[in-house]
Amino acid sequence: MFIAHLPAGYILTKYIQHKSVNSSLRLLRLGLIASIFPDIDLFYFYLVDNSQILHHHYITHLPLAWLALASILYGAVLLAGKKQYLIYLGVALVNVMLHMFLDSIAAGIYWLYPLSDMEINLVQIPVIYDWWIWNFVFHWTFLLEISIIITTLIVWIRSCKKIS
């Protein structure tokens, strides 16, 4: 997924806020950051690794690594007696997992690594164009990204109307 991670994170976080009592801007910001955070590995991919290994193979794109980290943080939050922060942990985790799911559509994610090497890739994108990005942009899966963006605009406009 190229351009819809952030909009998808917006929709998901707004939905969680709608269902919970926390409608804070801080929670929304956290959800937005978490929705794109796994792609921070692109800096390493381009600047350090010289594009040698697909960035979806890095630890930042391994769902079980995020679940392990979230479990540790969950325990720490409970031990500290700060249950009110669990919603922040939950929002961050579901947004990271949403990122993984969306990346699984047109590319691969190792959902069970290190337990399994099976890569989940729901739709294979054929190589047609020389510039690899066009292969994704001109594939029907890109319509999903556009539909997510349109939905985000609708949710955002409705959200603005509620405030005013």
Question: In the complex, what is the shortest distance from the CB of residue 103 to Zn ion, in angstroms, rounded to a whole number?
Answer: 4
Is the CB of residue 100 less than 8 Å from the CB of residue 38? yes
- For residue 109, what is the DSSP state? B
Q: Which stretch binds Zn ion (CB under 5 A): 70-78, 87-95, 101-109, 141-149?
A: 101-109
Q: 86 vs 122, which CB is nearer to Zn ion?
A: 122
Q: 39 vs 145, which CB is nearer to Zn ion?
A: 39
Q: Which stretch binds Zn ion (CB under 5 A): 69-77, 100-108, 126-134, 146-154?
A: 100-108
Cα(11)–Cα(161) distance, rounded to whole angstroms? 16
Question: In the complex, what is the shortest distance from the CB of residue 161 to Zn ion, in angstroms, rounded to a whole number?
Answer: 32
Question: In the complex, what is the shortest distance from the CB of residue 106 to Zn ion, in angstroms, rounded to a whole number?
Answer: 11
Residue 41 binding Zn ion, by CB under 5 A: no
- For residue 120, what is the DSSP state? B
Please state, as a whole number, how many other Cβ atoms lie within 10 Å of the Cβ of residue 120: 16
| Residue 113 identity (one-letter amino acid) | Y
Question: In the complex, what is the shortest distance from the CB of residue 55 to Zn ion, in angstroms, rounded to a whole number?
Answer: 7
Question: In the complex, what is the shortest distance from the CB of residue 42 to Zn ion, in angstroms, rounded to a whole number?
Answer: 8
Among 17, 35, 39, 96, binds Zn ion (CB under 5 A): 39
Q: What is the DSSP string of 70-113?
A: HHHHHHHHHHTT-GGGHHHHHHHHHHHHHHHHHHHHHS-B-TTT
Instruction: Tell which residue, 143, 162, 135, has the closest CA to residue 4.
Output: 143
Among 103, 106, 109, 152, binds Zn ion (CB under 5 A): 103
Cα(25)–Cα(135) distance, rounded to whole angstroms? 37
Binding site for Zn ion (CB under 5 A): 38-39, 103
